[in-house]
Amino acid sequence: MRKHSPMSMFFKSVSEVVDQEQLVHNDTGYIGNAAGVTVFGAQSFQLSGEKTFTAIEGWCPGIGGSFSGDATTTIETDDSGKPSGNLVNINATKIIVPEAGIIKYVFDVPFKLSGATTYWLVRRISEQTLGNYLGIWANSEGGYDNGHASGFYLGTWHDGSPMCAWFKIYVRE
């Protein structure tokens, strides 16, 4: 006879699935300072319903210069079509040491997000000196119906429509 711990009946197995994605790429953007201007990148998205947000994936085709810092991804609320600077949840920040290839940012503590609400994936790097940057695969012809890319440079957010970043959003159902 198999014994179970008294707490085992309270935990159920949950699976992580991709809720939103944009996997077409025909262009490369960047975050950092490739040409004398510091750039942060963002991608808006909407979930298909209320979900528990767990992770995102992005594709970095390469690292420029002698970049040796870290990359921060935050999930922020929307402010009239641009990132607000306000986290959707206290746990909506993930810092990693980036490398070329597909990067999965797994958030330490999952958090709930509503469906049919615009949110922003915002990516920044710590090292902002000239020539140091991370590449980001993108689709300059759009391709994602629930959002678009935006770039922060020269002190303000600039609409990147129809550009969309390559991304996957993971949730628990």
- Using a 10 angstrom Cβ sphere, with 0-12 exposed, 13-18 middle and 19 or more buried, the burial of residue 115 is exposed
- Tell me, what's the pLDDT at 107? 97
Task: Give the model's pLDDT for residue 149.
Answer: 95
The answer to whether residues 78 and 44 touch, using CB atoms and an 8 Å cutoff, is yes
Radius of gyration over every alpha carbon of the chain, rounded to an integer in angstroms:
17
pTM of the model: 0.89
In this predicted structure, the answer to whether residue 48 has a pLDDT above a threshold of 50 is yes
**What is the model's pLDDT at position 13?**
54
Q: What DSSP letter does each residue of 109-133 carry, written as one string?
A: EEEEE-BS--EEEEEEES--STTEE
Question: Average pLDDT, whole number, for the chain?
Answer: 90
Domains annotated for the chain, with CATH where assigned, are: 15-172 (2.60.120)
pLDDT tens, residue by residue, 25-38: 999 988 998 888 88
pLDDT tens readout for residues 54-77: 999 999 999 988 888 899 999 999
Q: Count CB-CB contacts under 10 A for residue 10.
A: 7
> For position 65, what pLDDT does the model report?
87
